[in-house]
Structure 1
Amino acid sequence: MVDHHGGKTFREADTENPRTSQTAEALLEEDTHDVHRKPIQTADNGRRSFLKGESLLWTNGIIPFKINKNVDDACREEISRAIAVFNDNTCLKWEPYSGSGKDHVEFFTGGISSSYVGNIQVSKYGHLYEPKLTNQPINIDSRHCTLHVVLHEMGHTVGMTHEQSRSDRDQYVTVHWEHVLEGEDNQNLAKEDTENHNIPYDYSSLMHYSVYAFSKDGEKTLEYTNTDYEFLGLRENTLSFYDIEDITKAYNCTWKCAGKECQNAGYLDHTCSCRCPEYIEGPTCDKVKTENCGGIITLQDQNDQQSIVSPNYPQSYSAGQNCIWLVKAPKGHGIELSSPDFDLPDNSLKRCNHWLEVRFNLIGQPGPLYCGDSLPVIETSSGGESHLLLLRFDSTNQFVDSGKGFHLNVRIKAQFNHSNGLVTDTSDDSVFVDDVINHCEVDPDWCYNEGTCVFRNGEVSCLCSDGYSGDFCEHSDNSKEATDKFTQYLAVLGTYSCHPSTACSIINLYSGFTWRMEEQGLVVSPQTGPKGSQAGFSIPFKVTENRDMCLEIHFRRLRAGTPCGMLEVTKHVEGADFGYGGYQYDLPLYRGGCGEGGKTVSSPISSFVGETTSVSLKVSLKEDGEFNIAIENISIIDGYC
C-alpha cells in the first residue's frame, strides 16, 4: 500500500498482501518469467475476443483442461484454487477434459511461465505448430507456481492480453525501453490493438505488470502516469473488479439477463445481479457499507461545496471505526478534495496507524492511504469514473492513540476532455480555443508589471510597458542584471532555494500587494486589506522534461490566533504533443490555511517528455483583515518527495 505521511509519500511493504511485500528484486525475478504467445492462425468463427480482430474465445465459455503428471501436489493445489476463482466469479467454466478429442489445455511445470492468448483450436490448427500440438499448453515456472502466476497465465488462455499492452495504454503508462530486456522486441510490453469493452484502464488488473517488469538493470521499465498507484502493479492474487467486468463483456455472460441498471461503477455479472465495487452494496449498488458514520454525498453543480468531518470532530475520534463516504458529481465532471484541518497519527516507521484511503482514480481499485498533519489537494482522474470519489476512514487499530481527525471539503472542480486529458473549467467554455487555454481570460494578471496579454491563433504573449521585457514582462531595467545572475546560478545548481539566509528570486503577480523577504520569511506588504484581496508570486524556475523534482514549502502564521488567509499553490505545465500541437494547464498542489503550528507542503513536480513545469503561490483574504502569513522556506530539489 502507499502511505502518505504529513505530505510525504512512503512506499512500504503491505504486510496483508504477500505480493506487495516482495522487494523490487523479487518482483523483477517473477516479472521476467512470463511469455504469452499468439496463435499462428486466425480462427474463423467470427466471435469477438480481447485481441481486436481475432476470434479466440472458447465455445460457450467452457475450457476443458488436464494436468500433466510432472506437476507436483503443491502446484496442483494452486491450479485448483485458480480454477475456482474463474468458475465462481465469471460465466467461464474450467472443466476436466473428457478425452473426446476436442480443444483443451494442459498444465505443465518447468521453464518459463507461458501460455497462448485465447483458444488456438489445436483440433483444427495444431498441425501448423512446431512441434505439432495435440493440446494447448499452459506452462508454469516450477519456482513460481503461485496463485497469482497461475491465474495470470489462465487469463491469457481465455483471451486476455497484458493490461499495459492495451491500445490506450500511452495515457496511463510510459515504457522505458532502454531498461527492458530485449528492448522494443519484448512483446510483453508491446502495445496491442485491443478490444477494451469501454472498461477503464486498470492498474490493479491481474494482467498488469509492476514497474520493474523485464528490467535488465534493476531500473524501472514502466512509469505510471499517476505514480501514487505504482503499488498496485502485480498486487492482485485474484481477478480484479474490472478484470471480471472485462471477461463478462467479452463472453457476453449476461445475455439472458433482463434489463437492469447498476449504479456507481457497478455492472451486471453472470448471475444477473449487480456486482458492486468494494464498500458499495445494494441491489443496484446504491448504498455504502458503513455503520454510524459515512454515507453518500451528491454534488449538484459547480457552486456546491460540502464538508465531511471525522466522527466527534473537532474532538478526537474513537478508535475502532471504519467510515465510508461516496462523493458523486454529474457525469463528465471531476471532484476536488481539500482539507483545512487534518490530523491522523502515524508511527516511528512512518506508517499510518489510522488513515484515510482516497480512491480518486477508480473506486473499484484500492487507493493510497493518507495520514499525518496535512492532506494535499486531490482531484479525481479523468475518465469514465471522474465523477466518483470514495473515501474510507480506518481507525480500527485500537492499540494507538487517536488524532483530532479531519475536516474535508469536496466540490465540483472541472470538466474533463477525454480526448487529451486536459482539465477545463466548466464555468466558461469560451476561454478555450481548440483545447488551448486562453490565459488572457482565465488569469487577467497573466502578464506582469501591467503588461498587456494577447491571445492570437492559440498563442499567448505579452506586450510589455516601457522599461520591462521578458515573455511575461518579468524583467525591469533595474532588476534584469540581478535576475540574469540568479538564472545563471540556477543553471549551475539546477535547484531552487528561498529562505531568509539566501538570495530569493520571485516575481510578484499583483501590484497592490507584494511579497518581500524579512527576518521571518516572505511576507505580504501591505499586510492589511479588504475582503477578496490577493497577493501572489511565481517562482522563476522551470522543471524541464524527464526530470523528477520535489517542491517543499513551509509556512506559518505571523501571529497566533489570527487566520493567515487562503493559500493556493499551483503548478503550471506547458508541453508539446509532437505533431498534435501544444498544450498547457494548471494543477492545484495545495489549497488551505496555515494551521496552528505551521504547515509543510511537499509535492512532486516532475515533467514528462516535451514538458516544462513552473510553480506559483497566491494567498487571498476571505474577510477584511491581514495577510497573516510568513513563508519560511521554499525548495525545489532533485528526486522524489
Structure 2
Amino acid sequence: MRNEIRRNIRIAGLLFENDIALILSQMKLLTSTKQYRKKRKIVADPTYHWKSSLIAYRFGDSDTNWQDYIRKTLHYWEQETCLRFEENKPDDDYLIFIIGSGCYSNVGRLGGSQTISIGYGCETLGIISHELGHALGFWHEQERSDRDNHVRINLQNVISGSEGNFEKRNATQIIDLGVPYDLGSVMHYSTNTFAKRFIDFTVDPIDTKYRSTVGNRVAPAFTDFKQINLLYCFDRCQMTNLKCRHGGYPDPNNCSICKCPEGLGGHQCSDLQNSCE
C-alpha cells in the first residue's frame, strides 16, 4: 500500500482515498450530508455492476511486458472466478488499461470506456488486482461498519486533511454478501496508510499478530474472490447439491468441487491441509 501512495503522490489531490477516480454522481453522493454514509464495501447500486461475467478490455499503451503483467493477472482472476476478460472485444462497456501517473481506478461499471491506470511500479499481481477490484465494484475493506471489531483507527497519526479516508460506513448501507471481515483482503489499507511518519500506525489490528497481514498486495484473498463470485456468479451452481463447509462454496468454474478457505481442503472443505502443500 505504501508503494501505491508513493506512486500516486503527484496526483493525490485528484483522487479519492488515494487511488479512486470518482465520477460526478459518486462525488455528489459522497459530499451530500444525507448520502455521505452510503458508500459500501461492494457498491450496492446495480447500475454500477457489470452486466455479465464477460468483461471486455483494451490497452491504451503498447509496452508488451507491461501488457503481459496485466494479462497474467486477468488470467489469475479467471481461474478463481467465473469472470472472463476478452481483449479487444467489441462492447459498449469496457476497461482500458493505461500507463498513467500512478495506480488508480473508478469504482464499478460506469458505462462506455473506463480507465484503470497501472503506472510503472504498479504492475504487480496484488496492485493490479486492487485496482481491478475497484473497477468491479469494491471499495476499501476497512470502511465496513464492523471494522472496529478488527482494527483500531488512530486518527492522531493520520496526515492532517486525510482523516476522511478512514470513514466507517453504516451497516444498513454496506453490502458484504455475508462474507466476514478480512484483514488480509487485497482491498485493505496497510498499517501506515496516510501516516505522518512511516513508523506510525494509522490502522492497527486488534490482534497485533496480524499487523504484517494488513495491507496485503501479494494477491487477492479467498474472501475477495468469494465476494466477486457471489456478486457475479451467484447463479452458476444453483442446481448443485454440494454442501461446502467452513465458509467454502461451489467453484463456479466446476460446481462439483468446493473452493475452500486457506488451510482447508477435501470434498467439503472439512480437511486440514498441510502448510507445505
Settle same-fold status: TM greater than 0.5.
yes
Report the Cα distance in structure 1 between the residues aligned to 2:164 and 2:242, rounded to whole angstroms. 45
Q: Indicate whether 1:66 and 2:58 are aligned.
A: yes
| C-alpha distance in structure 2 between counterparts of 1:201 and 1:49, whole Å | 10
2:258 alignment partner, one of 242, 254, 274: 274
Q: Which amino acid aligns with 1:191?
A: K
Of the three residues 217, 234, 241, the one matched with 1:253 is 234
Q: Which amino acid aligns with 1:98?
A: K
Q: Aligned pair in 2 of structure 1 residues 167, 94: CA closer, same or farther (>3 Å)? A: farther
Cα displacement (A) at 1:49: 8.8
Q: Does structure 1 retain, via aligned residues, the 8 Å contact 2:102–2:122?
A: no
Distance 1:184 1:289 in 2: 41
Instruction: State the secondary structure of the residue aligned to 2:219.
Output: coil
Contact 2:56 2:88 in 1 (8 A): yes
1:89 is matched by which residue type in structure 2? E
Change (3 A) 1:54 1:41: farther
Match of 1:265 in 2: 247
Aligned partner (choices 180, 184, 191) of residue 204 of structure 1: 184
- Secondary structure at the counterpart of residue 223 of structure 1: strand
Tell me by how many angstroms 1:194 deviates: 2.3
Q: Is the 8 A contact 1:31 1:210 kept in 2?
A: no
Q: Spell out the pairing of 1:170-569 with structure 2 (5 A cutoff).
A: 170-181=148-159, 182-186=161-165, 189-192=166-169, 193-218=173-198, 219-257=200-238, 258-270=240-252, 271-272=254-255, 273-290=257-274
Q: Distance in 1 between matches of 2:202 and 2:145?
A: 18
| Counterpart-to-counterpart distance in 2, 1:50 and 1:275 | 21
Determine if contact 1:31/1:209 at 8 Å carries over to the other structure: no
Relative distance call for 1:221 and 1:249 in structure 2 (3 A) is same
* CA deviation after TM superposition for structure 1 residue 31, in Å: 3.8
Relative to total residues, which structure has the larger helix share, 1 or 2?
Answer: 2
Please tell me whether the aligned partners of residues 138 and 153 of structure 1 are also in contact (alpha carbons under 8 angstroms).
Answer: yes
Secondary structure of 1:143 counterpart: coil
Task: Give the whole-Å Cα distance in 1 for the aligned partners of 2:102 and 2:205.
Answer: 26
Q: Distance in 1 between matches of 2:2 and 2:108?
A: 26
**Which residue number corresponds to residue 2 of structure 2?**
28
Could you tell me which residue of structure 2 aligns to residue 77 of structure 1?
68
Calculate the TM-score normalised by the size of structure 1.
0.36
Code of the residue aligned with 2:202 in structure 1: it is: T
For residues 93-116 of structure 1, give each alpha carbon's deviation from its aligned partner in whole angstroms, at most 9, with x where no partner exists: 11113345x011111112131101
Structure showing greater Rg: 1
1:237 is displaced (CA, Å) by 2.2
Corresponding residue of 1:107? 97
Partners of 2:132 and 2:94 in 1: CA distance: 13
The Cα shift of 1:254 comes to: 4.2
Whether the aligned pair in 1 keeps the contact of 2:56 and 2:90 (CA below 8 Å) is no
Cα contact 2:191–2:215 (8 A) shared by 1: no
3-state DSSP class of the match of 2:24? coil
Looking at structure 1, the residues matched to 233 and 190 of structure 2 have their Cα atoms a distance apart, in angstroms, of 30
Say which SS state the counterpart of residue 88 (structure 1) adopts.
helix
Q: Report the AA paired with residue 86 of structure 2.
A: E
Structure-2 separation of matches of 1:201 and 1:58: 24
Answer whether contact 2:157 2:196 (CA < 8 A) is retained: yes
Per-residue Cα deviation, 1:428-482 (whole angstroms, up to 9, x for no partner):
xxxxxxxxxxxxxxxxxxxxxxxxxxxxxxxxxxxxxxxxxxxxxxxxxxxxxxx
Structure 2 distance, partners of 1:99, 1:281, is 40
Give me the whole-angstrom Cα distance separating, in 2, the residues matched to 1:97 and 1:73: 15
SS state of the match for residue 52, structure 2?
A: helix
User: Partner of 1:174: helix, strand, or coil?
Assistant: strand
* Cα distance change on mapping 1:97 and 1:190 into 2, 3 Å: farther
Instruction: Supply the AA of the counterpart residue of 1:149.
Output: I
The match for 1:55 among 47, 50, 66 is: 47
Match of 1:37 in 2: 21
Q: Distance in 1 between matches of 2:2 and 2:41?
A: 30
SS at structure 1 position matched to 2:19: strand
Q: What residue identity is the alignment partner of 2:261? A: P
Kindly provide the CA deviation profile for residues 364-387 of structure 1, in whole angstroms up to 9, marking residues without a partner as x: xxxxxxxxxxxxxxxxxxxxxxxx
Aligned residue pairs, count: 246
Determine what percentage of the aligned residue pairs are the same residue.
27
**1:216 Cα deviation after fit:** 3.1
* Structure showing the higher strand proportion among its residues: 1
- 5+ residue gaps, structure 1, are 1-26, 43-47, 123-134, 291-391, 395-641
Deviations 1:574-602 (A, max 9, x none): xxxxxxxxxxxxxxxxxxxxxxxxxxxxx
2:107 maps to 117
Q: Tell me, in whole angstroms, the C-alpha distance in 2 between the residues paired with 1:104 and 1:289.
A: 39
* 1: CA distance, partners of 2:87 / 2:131: 18
Q: CA 1:268 to 1:215, structure 2 compared with 1: closer, same or farther past 3 Å?
A: same
Of the three residues 140, 143, 161, the one matched with 2:121 is 143
Q: Which has the higher contact order (CA 8 A, sep 6+)?
A: 2
Give TM-score scaled by structure 2 length: 0.79
How far off its partner does 1:236 sit?
4.5
Deviation at 1:280, TM superposition (A): 2.2
Distance 1:57 1:108, change over 3 A: same
Alpha-carbon offset, residue 30 of structure 1: 3.0
Is 1:155 matched up with 2:136?
Answer: no
Structure 1 residue 53: Cα displacement:
4.1
> Residues 323-381 of structure 1: CA distance to partner in whole angstroms, max 9, x if unpaired?
xxxxxxxxxxxxxxxxxxxxxxxxxxxxxxxxxxxxxxxxxxxxxxxxxxxxxxxxxxx
RMSD of aligned alpha carbons: 2.5
Equivalent of residue 94 in structure 1, options 85, 88, 97: 85
Cα deviation, 1:251-300, whole Å, max 9, x if unaligned, reads 1434443232112332222121211223322221222335xxxxxxxxxx
Contact residue 49 and residue 55 of structure 1 kept, 8 A = no
**Contact kept in structure 1, 2:222 and 2:261, CA below 8 Å:** yes
Is contact 1:67–1:106 with CA below 8 Å preserved after alignment? yes
* CA 98–251 in structure 1, closer or farther in 2 if over 3 Å, else same: closer
Pair 1:217–1:151, CA change in 2 (3 A): same
